[in-house]
């Protein structure tokens, strides 16, 4: 099956120094705190880590997948690059760069993320119409990281008090899950690897 | 616990829901002793604000007693009486550090939704739709307060709930509306809307040095309150041509500043107001900006139009050319509540103002659905409803 490469970029200003942010970013083991559904990050060698992601629809952890990421270059405190290892089911690479701003405006963080996906017309059309772009997901991760760095926690309403939810709301929730399922399918490089899914 | 939950347009219901719990280290749980229905709650009730979901707990004007704090909270303790700002602010981001509290970068977990609609997201708000974070509100027996080390103001001894409750929203909102006018000695300020925010904007304009305030509404009881409590000159827009009256009352130059304390659900009998209502009825428009048009038209050259009234979407037929031609300054936005709370508390303690003058009704939480109805219909001279969830009032 044909594959296509996709590149997304996201940028955000964070009230912190490049040195502190570089330290936080390069410490890959801290990522489960702000990357949704990332279950664990384990060192597996020199500048290499194994990521385990919960790829189940409901976040219950029934479907896990893992891959290995390696840091490929470091230029502290301004930039580093990474890529997934050849044996990983996910083919992706990226770069994080940090630019200090004047005064007390903090640091501009730029994330560049490239990955390879199959060309499947129906799925891609569906995603274009209904789906949340990868850019939005990368931006969301960046936003959560900023919140954690700046405030020490990530703002949430999960688990808060709520009144009864109607059947219509439940239906809407299921539509969201179907959308997520298609997004996950999109992330699978090959049909025979469907069990290995990622959600970012 | 009991909480008021949104069910759909024009329908709210008191339900039994799970008690709130600490979800983050900087959270606190507050036992609500007083909570109010805000005019902007009516925009939710009337179905004008998108992204509400059935079962959402409403309410963003509340105060109470701290009953639990998260491990990172050191400035509050169990038993403290606090007023809670309706804007949820982290205190750490660029905007909070620069006192633009309602534009906090970090408190809205649904910022992506607000970004799609508005370009960028403001802060999270209590009980004000999922676009503003989806936080459970304070028309309930208990409420979770995120970033509780930043927002809540401890209430000094000797002040009762009703004296300080409105520090949570409408007093700072009215005050910021007046402050945004950059009032100079001798200034005349025109205020559209004599609801709670308008009444407090009138009082705030005088506190900030205005010489005259002209108040505009159609309800005689609200105009009487503006005249007798607020010392304003008043105009009933159903009886008088507003633009002509303002021109005449200001020597032909117009008010130095104009405050739109009405927002997106303006009424009126001018042609443009009828046009707005027709478009809204046909679901072709979300906002009815006839007051904003009048304010832009009436304001003097080089003046300021301050907009505490809430707008939600795209505004049709707004005379922006008038604003440009006269070099007007426009100021607006959700209130930076934390910026004003201490200053306004001092005004209350010094006896310069007692905001409880606007309260017309005191209800139990169980009566909240009826409260929304009478507030919406302006029945029984309703100006402001306060509920005490843990008391029985009859």
pLDDT of residue A196: 39
Touching check for B85 and chain A: CB below 8 Å?
no
pLDDT of residue B50: 83
Which among A13, A143, A162 is the nearest to B111, CB-wise? A143
The domain spans of chain A are 3-156+165-193
What's the rounded Cα separation, in Å, for the pair B338 and B135?
18
pLDDT value at B220 more than 60: yes
pLDDT of residue B292: 96
Tens of pLDDT, residues A125-143: 545 544 457 788 889 999 9
Question: Are the Cβ atoms of A160 and B135 closer than 8 angstroms?
Answer: yes
Residue in B6, B134, B30, B120 with CA at minimum distance from that of residue B82? B30
Please state the ipTM of this predicted complex: 0.92
Residue B238 bridge partners (DSSP)? none
Which among A140, A150, A162 is the nearest to B57, CB-wise? A162
Residue of B nearest to A133 (CA): B112
First-to-last C-alpha distance (Å) of chain A: 23
Question: Which positions in chain B touch A160 (Cβ < 8 Å)?
Answer: 20, 23, 135-136, 144
**Strand B233-236 vs strand B385-387: parallel, antiparallel, or unpaired?**
unpaired
pLDDT of residue B269: 81
At residue A112 the predicted structure's pLDDT band, cuts being 50, 70 and 90, is very high
The domain spans of chain B are 2-169+335-387, 171-332
Residue in B262, B242, B266 with CA at minimum distance from that of residue B308? B262
The proportion of chain B whose per-residue pLDDT surpasses 70, expressed as a percent, equals 99
Tens of pLDDT, residues B22-64: 999 999 999 999 999 999 999 899 888 888 999 999 999 999 9
Tens of pLDDT, residues A38-84: 889 999 988 899 988 887 655 555 678 888 999 999 999 999 999 99
pLDDT of residue A178: 58
Fold for B171-332, please state it.
Answer: Rossmann fold (3.40.50)
3-state secondary structure of B121: coil
Shortest Cα distance from B109 to chain A (angstroms)?
Answer: 6
**For residues A158-184, average pLDDT:** 66
Shortest Cα distance from A6 to chain B (angstroms)?
Answer: 21
The proportion of chain A whose per-residue pLDDT surpasses 70, expressed as a percent, equals 68
**What distances in angstroms separate CA B285 from CA B40, B88, B275, B278, B307, one per listed residue?**
18, 29, 10, 9, 20
pLDDT of residue A192: 38
pLDDT of residue B316: 86
Is residue A45 exposed (0-12), middle (13-18) or buried (19+ Cβ within 10 Å)? exposed
Question: Are the Cβ atoms of B140 and A161 closer than 8 angstroms?
Answer: yes
φ/ψ bin of A150: left (φ > 0), alpha (ψ from -120 to 50), beta (otherwise):
alpha
Question: Are the Cβ atoms of A146 and B147 closer than 8 angstroms?
Answer: no
Which among B55, B105, B134 is the nearest to A165, CB-wise? B55
Long-range contacts of the stretch A105-109 (C-beta < 8 A, 24+): A105/A13, A105/A15, A105/B94, A106/A13, A106/A14, A106/A15, A106/A16, A106/B94, A107/A13, A107/A14, A107/A16, A107/A17, A107/A18, A107/A21, A108/A11, A108/A12, A108/A13, A109/A11, A109/A12, A109/A13, A109/A14, A109/A21, A109/A142, A109/A146
Question: Are the Cβ atoms of A147 and B106 closer than 8 angstroms?
Answer: yes
Question: Are the Cβ atoms of B23 and A160 closer than 8 angstroms?
Answer: yes
Question: Are the Cβ atoms of B3 and A106 closer than 8 angstroms?
Answer: no
Touching check for B172 and chain A: CB below 8 Å?
no
Domain B2-169+335-387, second-level architecture:
Alpha-Beta Complex (3.90)
CATH of domain A3-156+165-193: 3.30.530.20
Average pLDDT, chain A: 78
pLDDT value at A151 more than 70: yes
Question: Which positions in chain B touch A139 (Cβ < 8 Å)?
Answer: 112
**What distances in angstroms separate CA B40 from CA A101, B61, B237, one per listed residue?**
38, 11, 22
pLDDT value at A183 more than 50: no
Q: Which of A16-25, A133-142, B156-165 has the lowest mean pLDDT?
A: A133-142
CA atoms within 13 A on the CB side of B173: 27
Touching check for B106 and chain A: CB below 8 Å?
yes
């Amino acid at each position: 099956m044909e594959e296509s490469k996709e590149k997304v970029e996201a940028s955000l200003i964070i009230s912190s120094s490049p040195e502190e942010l570089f330290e936080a970013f390069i410490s890959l083991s801290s990522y489960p705190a702000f990357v949704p559904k990332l279950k664990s990050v384990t060192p597996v060698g020199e500048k290499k880590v194994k990521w385990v992601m919960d790829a189940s629809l409901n976040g219950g952890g029934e479907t896990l997948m893992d891959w290995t990421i390696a840091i490929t270059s470091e230029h502290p405190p301004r930039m580093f690059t990474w890529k997934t290892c050849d044996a990983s089911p996910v083919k992706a690479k990226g770069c994080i760069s940090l630019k200090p701003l004047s005064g007390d405006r903090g640091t501009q963080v730029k994330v560049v993320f490239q990955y390879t996906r199959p060309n499947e017309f129906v799925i891609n059309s569906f995603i274009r119409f209904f789906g949340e772009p990868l850019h939005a997901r990368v931006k969301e991760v960046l936003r959560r990281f900023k919140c954690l760095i700046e405030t020490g926690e990530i703002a949430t309403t999960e688990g808060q008090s709520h009144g009864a939810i109607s059947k219509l709301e439940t239906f809407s929730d299921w539509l969201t899950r179907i959308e997520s399922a298609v997004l996950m399918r999109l992330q699978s490089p090959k049909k025979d690897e469907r069990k290995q899914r990622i959600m970012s | 616990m009991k909480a008021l939950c949104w069910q759909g347009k024009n329908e709210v219901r008191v339900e039994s829901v799970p008690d709130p719990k600490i979800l983050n280290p900087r959270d606190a749980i507050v036992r609500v002793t007083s909570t109010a229905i805000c005019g902007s709650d009516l925009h939710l009730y009337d179905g004008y604000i998108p992204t509400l979901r059935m079962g959402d707990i409403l309410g963003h004007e509340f105060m109470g007693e701290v009953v639990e704090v998260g491990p990172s909270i050191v400035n509050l303790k169990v038993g403290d009486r606090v007023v809670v700002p309706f804007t949820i602010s982290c205190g750490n981001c660029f905007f909070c550090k620069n006192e633009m509290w309602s534009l906090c970068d970090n408190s809205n977990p649904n910022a992506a939704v607000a970004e799609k609609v508005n370009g960028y997201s403001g802060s999270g708000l209590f009980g004000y739709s999922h676009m503003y974070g989806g936080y459970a509100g304070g028309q309930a027996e208990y409420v979770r307060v995120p970033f509780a080390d930043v927002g809540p103001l401890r209430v000094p001894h000797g002040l009762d709930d009703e004296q300080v409750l409105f520090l949570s929203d409408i007093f700072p909102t009215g005050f910021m509306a007046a402050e945004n006018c950059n009032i100079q000695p001798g200034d005349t300020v025109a205020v559209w809307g004599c609801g709670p925010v308008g009444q407090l904007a009138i009082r705030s304009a005088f506190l900030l040095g205005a010489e005259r305030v002209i108040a505009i509404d159609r309800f005689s009881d609200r105009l009487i309150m503006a005249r007798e409590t607020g010392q304003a000159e008043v105009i009933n827009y159903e009886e008088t041509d507003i633009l002509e009256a303002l021109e005449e009352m200001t020597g032909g130059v117009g008010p130095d500043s104009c405050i739109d304390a009405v927002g997106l659900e303006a009424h009126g009998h001018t042609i443009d107001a009828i046009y707005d209502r027709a478009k809204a009825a046909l679901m072709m428009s979300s906002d009815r900006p006839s007051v904003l048009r009048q304010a832009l038209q009436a304001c003097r050259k080089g003046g300021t139009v301050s907009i505490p009234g809430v707008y939600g979407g795209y505004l049709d037929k707004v005379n922006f050319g008038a604003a440009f031609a006269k070099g007007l300054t426009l100021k607006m936005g959700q209130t930076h509540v934390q910026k004003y709370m201490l200053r306004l508390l001092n005004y209350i303690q010094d006896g310069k103002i007692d905001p409880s003058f606007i309260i017309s009704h005191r209800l139990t939480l169980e009566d909240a659905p009826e409260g929304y109805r009478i507030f919406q219909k302006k029945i029984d001279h309703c100006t402001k409803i306060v509920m005490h969830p843990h008391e029985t009032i009859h």
